[in-house]
């Protein structure tokens, strides 16, 4: 079984991270157009995911990229804030960067743990990528809940000490 070379994998990951940075900067530029920017930002996101797939040399099942973008976009609450000029620019950049970094993490994990033969199987790659994204988002949700609990504990201690 032949796996991708570690040096090549590292180079792909670095190139993918630069791609994410580029698209995050593009999001800032287009976000200065209120209301129109929301579908454009989603378009930038879809375009970025397609480029990331090319960087890693993967092909997924037909419609997979649009499904991924839809699922990611559906879970983001930032969309209304994207319509606010200037504020929307920062949010758009963080939004695209967050999605891109998460996707790179997932694709890198899948490519790094798959044989070349497995990577060439589009359906298998798509399934593994979905599973990896689910694991990453579940961990992020768990971490977010933990941070929220810690904040609530601190607030409770402060309120008890001030009374």
36-76 pLDDT, tens per residue? 567 777 788 888 998 999 999 998 767 676 666 656 555 55
Per-residue tokens: 145: 């809940």
Residue carrying structure tokens 């200065």: 32
Interval 124-156: pLDDT, tens: 998 999 899 889 988 988 988 899 998 998 888
Query: Is residue 105 pLDDT above 80, yes or no?
Result: yes
Q: Averaged over 74-92, what is the pLDDT? A: 57
Calculate the CA 134 to chain-centre distance. Answer: 12
On the question of pLDDT at 79 being above 80, the answer is: no
- Tell me the β-bridge partners of 30: none
> What long-range pairs does 12-16 form, CB within 8 A, spacing at least 24?
12/55, 12/56, 12/57, 12/108, 12/111, 13/104, 13/108, 15/55, 16/52, 16/55, 16/56, 16/100, 16/104, 16/107, 16/108
As a whole number of angstroms, the distance between CA 118 and CA 94 comes to 33
Phi, psi of 110 (to 5 degrees): -65, -50
Kindly tell me if the per-residue pLDDT of 157 is higher than 70. Answer: yes
Half-sphere exposure of 108 (CA within 13 A, CB side): 19
């Amino acid at each position: 079984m032949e796996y991708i070379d570690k040096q090549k994998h590292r180079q792909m990951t670095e190139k993918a991270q630069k791609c994410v940075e580029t698209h995050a900067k593009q999001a800032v530029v287009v976000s200065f157009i209120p209301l129109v920017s929301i579908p454009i930002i989603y378009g930038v996101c879809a375009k970025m995911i397609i480029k990331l797939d090319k960087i890693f040399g993967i092909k997924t099942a037909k419609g997979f990229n649009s499904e991924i973008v839809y699922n990611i976009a559906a879970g983001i609450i930032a969309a209304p804030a994207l319509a606010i000029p200037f504020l929307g620019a920062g949010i758009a950049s963080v939004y695209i960067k967050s999605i891109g970094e998460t996707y790179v993490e997932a694709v890198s994990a899948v490519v790094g743990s798959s044989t070349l033969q497995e990577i060439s199987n589009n359906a298998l790659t798509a399934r593994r990528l979905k599973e990896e994204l689910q694991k990453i988002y579940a961990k992020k949700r768990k971490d977010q809940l933990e941070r929220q609990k810690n904040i609530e504990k601190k607030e409770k201690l402060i309120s008890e000490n001030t009374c």
